[in-house]
Structure 1
Amino acid sequence: MEGQQEQKPDASARRRTRSKNRTTRSDPVNKPSPVRKQRRKTPKTTPNDKTAQLSTRLKRKNSTAKRQTPPKRKKGVREKEDDKKDNKDISQRAPNYPQPWGSSQKYVGAHLSIQGGIWKAVLEAKRIGARAFGLFLRSQRSWSCKPLDKEGAEKFQRACQEYGFESHFILPHSPYLMNLGSPKSDVFLKSRVMLVEELVRCQQLGLTMYNIHPGSCVGGISVTECVKRIADGINYAHSEVPGITVVLENMSCQGSTIGGRFEELRDIIGHVTDKSRIGVCLDTCHAFAAGHNLAEKYGLKHMLDDFSRIVGLDYLKAVHLNDSKGEVGCRLDRHENIGRGHIGLEGFRQIMNEPRFDGIPMILETPYSPDYEDYSEEIDLLYSLCADRGRMGRNL
């Protein structure tokens, strides 16, 4: 109608219009749907196809491994290079002064490490000027061990032949776990098996002697019974492995160990069937700790006279050279460097001039000292005490 004002829609109508517009903009029906990626349809695989896929993955994996692995050397090249290096090291590090023993009939050496290969002990013995040496043939911390490496055994024998070390001047030592006198059946049986394994190793290395600590009754059985068990273990090992002499080491009378008294060594030998394959190694520290005063002028003579009367000098196969931290009769197995313990230089002067020690291995087992780079200085010191050597000893 003319003259009338145009009516405006009320508020509720405006809200309905806005709501309708919003619904139209956001309506999913009207909104274009996004383009979705089509999933590839994997064809059905047959067993032959799966085998081919697996083969492809393995080839890919192997090719990656080959890229990561350096090319292999020809068999034997590395070993030959190691041998040349070892020989070169010996020639470069060998002492320039004359051999320290002169005309002495004493065969002094040391207990040496086999780290890096058992033949390394031979090379080290040559380098330090030793005429004899000792070594372990296996780890000291485990009853079980890997078989002796055949190639390592051959290198050991070649080195001994090349540098003039005869088998009767090499004295391997038993692991400290071994206890042939144990009253516990499991420990006794494991010790017996270990002794057999060790004698087999000696055979493989071309050695003829093997040194053991006799054992301990650990307070569980009598000394007499313990002695018989030790002999039984040796007899069993002898029956299993021919040709190797078991060498009993005298002990310090510490605790319930057997062998500190010569009578105990005699009794063990008495129960061993094959007496041609049993012997004794005299440890100077152990003897001193057990009551033989080697520091006195006639102490060594008295000890060897007792040994000859009770055991017999024919059974003396080797000597372990150690000074003693403890006093005479202390019963403590505490080794000290030569001349720095209670036996002293004069005691070792008697030892190095004792003719009953001629022609047998004399092995140092002294502890590490920052004053000594290696055993060569103690070897030279001992030879300097020989009357037929004519050289002054080193200052301590």
Structure 2
Amino acid sequence: MITMAMCWDMPGRPKGQLLRRALRHWAFVVPGPEQRELPAEDRLVLQWVAKASRPLVDLHDPIMARDVLESLRRKLDGGEAAVETMRRKRKVLVHALHYAVERGELGSHPLEKIRWRVPKPSVAVDPRAVANPYQARDLLSAVSYVGGYRRARGRRLVGFFAGMYYAGLRPEEAVAVALPDCRLPRTGWGRLILHRTLPQAGKRWTDTGKFHDERGLKNRPPGETRLVPLPPHLVALWRDHVATFGTADDGRLFFTEQGRIITYTTYNRVWYETRELALPPALTSTPLAKRPYDLRHSALSTWLCAGADPAEVAQRAGNSVEVLLSRYAKCLYDRQSINNQRIEGLLSAYDKPPEQDQ
């Protein structure tokens, strides 16, 4: 969007879809060995971009700079982008311009004088998305019914989703769980030592040409680990999973039929079908556990609701206490009913007049 906003309105402007494809596939990435033959159509598009691109110094024009910043608000369909998307794109733009200043392409940062701010995001998790233990249990049970039995499209992912709920794992952490990092006893609690994640970036954006990058833990120094206790129910699920499906070549617990890393498209599709199976019609249209990540929200909320020490919860989840209390300290679905019963019980104790001493 920023590059397109920085182009003159010259004759011969390609259609938006062609322009974005050429920029995404050829201008913003280094083509791999098998992709060095630039298609003729994309070559013409990039030639137009080279002629129409405005120089960076034009960003010192406040009107131009504001137009570029306003482009961060728009989605491809013309609607308003999410606040987090705006913040991420603005951060990339600011860093790119700082780099241009360092290289001598710009004398000063052109956005410093522009009073344009991204709206503050909603920090707290929507309590409507948080499932209670009964609902989470029904959802995890329903995962195994997705797809045919032979392909086991859903059964392969029961333990994956269970790790997000019972251990509070992020999706990129659950994808990377390997058997050598786990202690899965026959009885009692187990443990997982997290030391890597496998976030999905796409083939064109990784150095290896694979869909996933291998990285360390989120917001942690390289090489740092995190110890995650595993409740007995999750230990049993993972033991059964290994007994049924084995492990991938590198020891990963969760993988496709071909042994590949699970993509977010795969588990999101399974989760969509799971909600249709597990939730009553009145709840399928609500935000309740709408995304797989909501299982992590439910996990952390459950731990806090159980009275666990926030510092311990934050350590297990890989968050700071401040982030935990501002984002995840939300009530469980229908937790008000539990508190109402407690309050009603206390009030009922005072319905009868106190006995008088004889």
TM-score, with length taken from structure 1: 0.21
In terms of Rg, which structure is larger? 1
More strand by share: 1
TM-score with structure 2 setting the length: 0.22
